[in-house]
Homo-oligomer: A and B are copies of this chain.
Amino acid sequence: MVPVSLCHHHYHHHGGSCHPATLPFLRMCRIPELQVQSSAFRTSTIMPLLVPRWLCWWRAACTRRAFVQQRMWEGATRISGLGGPAGALGTSPLVRRGSSSASSGAPGVRLTRDRYPVQRLPFSVVSEDDLAALERIIPGRVITDPEELEAPNVDWLRTVRGSSKVLLRPRTSQEVAQILRYCHERNLAVNPQGGNTGLVGGSTPVFDEIVLSTALMSQVLSFHDVSGVLVCQAGCVLEELSRYVEERGFVMPLDLGAKGSCHIGGNVATNAGGLRFLRYGSLRGTVLGLEVVLADGTLLNCLTSLRKDNTGYDLKQLFIGSEGTLGVITAVSILCPPKPSAVNVAFLGCPGFAEVLQTFSTGRRLLGEILSAFEFMDAECLQLVGRHLHLTSPVQESPFYVLIETSGSGADHDAEKLSSFLEQVQDSGLVTDGTLATDQRRIQALWALRERISEALSHDGYVYKYDLSLPLDRLYDLVDDLRARLGPSAKHVVGYGHLGDGNLHLNVTAEAFCESLLGALEPYVYEWTARQRGSVSAEHGLGFKKRDVLGYSKPPEALRLMQQLKALLDPKGILNPYKMLPTRA
């Protein structure tokens, strides 16, 4: 099979930014699709069969706001992923999430080693000889230009900053293996990096670790159009893969806000959850095989494409969710479900969180197997999305909103199910306003309200992010609790997330990073979560910033075994050091 290189030309409005170091040609791209998208807001279609009278399509207000929305879309494309507390780069065209600090010297982002109490481990320092040796392995792809190294040293949230002096850009697994063999021998620390869209400081160096980027490993190796099994290199961008498989009648089993930048290898290394988890489950089920390079350069080929394979321990599971600390994922085999022929999205306003929960129960019952997403957000989320990104709410202001997606194989059947669901939640007062979209552009527009909350928050100041799993009935209590606890010391306290998975994204913003606010939040949030037997990291992982809170969700015996696994697979500790596992006592 001939490997197919994914084209990076297409653009979507989702908070993405093209990595300038890796895709400089994108700066010249035109964006015709976006103009189409913006105009889509002006027209509206009625589906009388489906839509109860109270559900009006893109209500009158939308027309009036069309101009604003057009600006919004263009603005979103040009500056998405930018801003944050320190210096928005509004004039830089077409940079994607993951590269916000690309050309500015990352002013205002303190070095991680200064902000946090962390000590460099006794790894070697990269020498001129090392650079020459690495250059022999990947000629012309050993980057030492300080300007090019700014982006990979800073995270998307602009909260951590390393001081790596070397960026490596291998194209093949064999090159990765040679690089790691060399680094292992020389005791050089390595920071594997995909799209650098992580939210816990897991994808950027802490000190001077060598950055090993998967950006040039972006080939589709095979796709089987009966089984839907996709095999590709680790550096393929999720959105590109989505487009690739959708053209062939399938969808990727995961989707997330950072899709325009994140790499599939990084998704797997983080065990990303995202927006389709409710329907297609965890990557632990959908990833069929992995190719991984171990710390010592051993190439471990478990790139099977079989749905069932019980031959020995399932080694790939070790690397899924291990955040690059046990091996570097170089290729992924993943099962893509058939593309649903009918997709509907409803965006509804609810008077309270109890009603959100009841809407969820009703949806699970009446929508059954076609329910593919159930997201919620509070009023402040939508206010922030409006204020910072100029997205307008399609429904009346409400204390809570839910976004419900259905995906099915029969449009009429799905419409009937959805209609009966909507009637029931309206009649019982669970939902006070709502809108429904069936065509792809409106669906994307509704999804943007949810997907771009994280981006809107980053425009609001410094963001304290918590990604928690909690019992459904207590899911929002912590947000209320924190609003009362923090009072005016926080700018905003918001809650949103994947309700269907019991996953709350709790975010607190402030004008700037502030130790005393941090002290009010931590360990309070973690202790609260532990009391509910929740998880202090549902889907973002632990990275650098959360590694010391692991103990809130796992017992000491588990921590010990994790340390033992790390020691077994990476005895010198060169892979993504200072990440995931707690500081040793």
Q: Which residues of A contact B (CB under 8 A)?
A: 226-227, 270-271, 273, 277, 281-282, 284-286, 294, 298-302, 304-315, 317-318, 320-322, 326, 338, 340-341, 361, 364-370, 407-410, 413, 416-417, 469, 472-473, 498, 501-503, 533-542, 549-550, 552-555, 557-559, 561-562, 564-565, 568-569, 580-581
- Bound complex: CA A475 to CA B581 (Å): 44
**Which of B285, B534, B552, B568 is within 8 Å of A564, CB to CB?**
B568
- Bound complex: CA A469 to CA B227 (Å): 13
Contact sample, A vs B, 16 pairs, CB 8 Å cutoff: A273-B310, A282-B284, A300-B558, A301-B558, A304-B535, A307-B503, A308-B502, A310-B535, A311-B536, A311-B549, A312-B554, A315-B558, A340-B369, A410-B413, A561-B569, A564-B568
Whether B311 pairs with A554 at a CB distance below 8 angstroms is yes
Whether A533 pairs with B304 at a CB distance below 8 angstroms is yes
Given contacts A226-B472, A535-B304, contact A270 B553 (CB under 8 A): no
Whether A558 pairs with B312 at a CB distance below 8 angstroms is yes
Q: How far is the CB of A292 from chain B (nearest CB, A)?
A: 10
Whether B562 pairs with A565 at a CB distance below 8 angstroms is no
Whether B368 pairs with A562 at a CB distance below 8 angstroms is no
Which B residues lie within 8 Å of A410 (CB)?
368, 413, 416-417
Whether A555 pairs with B368 at a CB distance below 8 angstroms is no
- Bound complex: CA A88 to CA B127 (Å): 75
Whether A301 pairs with B557 at a CB distance below 8 angstroms is yes
Given contacts A568-B565, A580-B312, contact A298 B557 (CB under 8 A): yes
Whether A313 pairs with B565 at a CB distance below 8 angstroms is yes
Q: How far is the CB of A82 from chain B (nearest CB, A)?
A: 27
- Bound complex: CA A408 to CA B409 (Å): 12
Q: How far is the CB of A410 from chain B (nearest CB, A)?
A: 6
Whether B557 pairs with A317 at a CB distance below 8 angstroms is no
Which B residues lie within 8 Å of A502 (CB)?
227, 306-308
Which B residues lie within 8 Å of A300 (CB)?
555, 557-558, 561
Whose C-beta in chain B lies nearest to the C-beta of A306? B469
Q: 6 other contacts beyond A313-B565, A565-B568, with CB at 8 A cut-off? A: A273-B308, A285-B285, A308-B503, A311-B536, A318-B318, A368-B410
- Bound complex: CA A81 to CA B104 (Å): 73
Whether A535 pairs with B309 at a CB distance below 8 angstroms is yes
Whether A309 pairs with B469 at a CB distance below 8 angstroms is yes
